[in-house]
Structure 1
């Protein structure tokens, strides 16, 4: 272990012990420690729980879809965002189970008193705890994604009242918020990788900048990394599947990697599409809704739009690879198959509507 690693280890152990988040242990469990270099070049102590996680019965994943959360914000004029301080560490591990979290270091054997990062069930457990705490408020004026809590309302009066209720709930449950990361009574803010305003949602400019600065891909890992970034914002890109097709093929492990001209064009086209991505309106159940499908080749492309009385505005784009498309000769059958996929994907938008 290097001198730098020893210094960081000692400092982080001292900090964790001072906060009573860990304690000395005589457990037979002994996870190893590793160091990870953060974006700002600092060393971060991490614990390798892969062996323990492999033996752990997994909790059902309770984390909500980000798209579903964003779609709840239609009509919201006032927003407040709360970030829980050291989120996972605010929940204690049951005393009889703490020995399982033990890890070995050069300076002793320790176990966690509170939930650490790295254990497979920690995110689901934390999400379940937050869901239970705010159950009566969820989807009415509160959204919860792990340690991010969003309060949203149409009127300032309601917003202030609901904000007080949320803060009081946190106080009673003894959860602490990170004041520096909280934002109160805003009309626009960043939320889960998106910029939210009363007019709609758009990708974060720094994320788009990171995509624009991505170098050309030289191996499968590079392609997957780029498509992971771009794919997060595919709801903003019309015909994403078609644009990304040549890059997607490069992810196949059973074929040689060849970043040819068609892949280069796909790479540049995705960058251009994200750079010009428009603000998407948030779905309003009271407005007339229109769906346009395009079925060709091996996939479908769909756009959901709504008319506000003046003009039509895109709500969401969706594309999907459908392998049976190539075997269908009738164009009408292709369009019908596309619509079936739309009904499955956007059932929550369309169910109960008298007209589209």
Structure 2
């Protein structure tokens, strides 16, 4: 398994839990968010998915080197753990965007796990909301929440539904996600609900902020204020 040289890995798992008091006492996060932070996210199942083994998709096999590098990286960052065969073994898939960037996805859609997940509505902010804050004579900055989904840990009881396998020579190895994976239908809902606590706090301080999933922007009337705002967000 070949690692990419010079790659700096940022491990964000557990950061929210380490700052739980800040989320409770300063950000005033509600009980639901605090339970997710302290104990992990419980997937909102309508009923329990039955045990199953599903083979990896063709796209994962086609991009096998990328998959193996990604597995190694996720292990290093403690976002997945190696286990005996888990209760549910989901397919891996690799999505490739218009720029050629690859992303490893746990294929929970349609075939199994997502069929059992409650559909939850969430309002995403975007261009319309951003336009209400834009000062065309002012300054702005943008940011992304690095490894955003990996901040949300999965409750230990539900990690068994987020398993997958990969073949190494003659050996099949099994893994489960311990953080929010790309592919879970309720991921956008819980991530947005969590980030919204931060956005509400920033706005209470008078900072015009908009965040769409893990991409955000802020504006200010002058450069110095904009610079200080960007430093606050980075904290």
TM-score by length of 1: 0.42
Q: 1:94 aligns with which of 147, 155, 174?
A: 155
Does the 8 A contact of 1:81 with 1:150 survive in 2? Answer: yes
Tell me the matched-pair count: 168
Does the 8 A contact of 1:116 with 1:122 survive in 2? Answer: yes
Give the C-alpha shift of residue 39 in structure 1: 3.9
Secondary structure in 1 aligned to 2:119?
coil
Does the 8 A contact of 1:76 with 1:152 survive in 2? Answer: no
Structure 1 residues 34 and 77: CA distance shift in structure 2, 3 A = same
**Could you tell me which residue of structure 2 aligns to residue 61 of structure 1?**
122
Distance across 2 between alignment mates of 1:76 and 1:88: 34
Q: 1:128 aligns with which of 193, 196, 204?
A: 193
Distance across 2 between alignment mates of 1:165 and 1:54: 40
- Is residue 146 from structure 1 mapped to residue 213 from structure 2 by the alignment? yes
Give the C-alpha shift of residue 120 in structure 1: 0.7
Q: 2:226 aligns with which of 156, 159, 167?
A: 159
Structure 1 residues 20 and 70: CA distance shift in structure 2, 3 A = same
Structure 1 residues 6 and 153: CA distance shift in structure 2, 3 A = closer
**Runs of 5+ in structure 2 lacking a partner?**
1-57
Does the 8 A contact of 2:129 with 2:210 survive in 1? Answer: no
Give the C-alpha shift of residue 31 in structure 1: 0.9
Equivalences for residues 95-114 of structure 1 within 5 A: 95-106=156-167, 107-114=172-179
Give the C-alpha shift of residue 45 in structure 1: 3.6
Larger Rg: 1
Q: 1:180-217 CA deviation, whole Å, 9 max, x = no partner?
A: xxxxxxxxxxxxxxxxxxxxxxxxxxxxxxxxxxxxxx
Does the 8 A contact of 1:88 with 1:116 survive in 2? Answer: yes
Q: 1:253-297 CA deviation, whole Å, 9 max, x = no partner?
A: xxxxxxxxxxxxxxxxxxxxxxxxxxxxxxxxxxxxxxxxxxxxx
**Could you tell me which residue of structure 1 aligns to residue 55 of structure 2?**
none
Distance across 2 between alignment mates of 1:16 and 1:152: 34
Give the C-alpha shift of residue 119 in structure 1: 0.6
Does the 8 A contact of 2:135 with 2:220 survive in 1? Answer: no
**Runs of 5+ in structure 1 lacking a partner?**
169-356
Distance across 1 between alignment mates of 2:158 and 2:122: 21
Structure 1 residues 9 and 149: CA distance shift in structure 2, 3 A = closer
**Could you tell me which residue of structure 2 aligns to residue 270 of structure 1?**
none
Give the C-alpha shift of residue 167 in structure 1: 2.6
Distance across 2 between alignment mates of 1:103 and 1:79: 42
Does the 8 A contact of 2:133 with 2:209 survive in 1? Answer: no
CA RMSD of aligned residues (A): 2.6
Q: 1:74-108 CA deviation, whole Å, 9 max, x = no partner?
A: 45501111112122122222222211211233232
Does the 8 A contact of 1:34 with 1:45 survive in 2? Answer: yes
**Could you tell me which residue of structure 1 aligns to residue 81 of structure 2?**
23
Give the C-alpha shift of residue 19 in structure 1: 1.7
TM-score by length of 2: 0.61
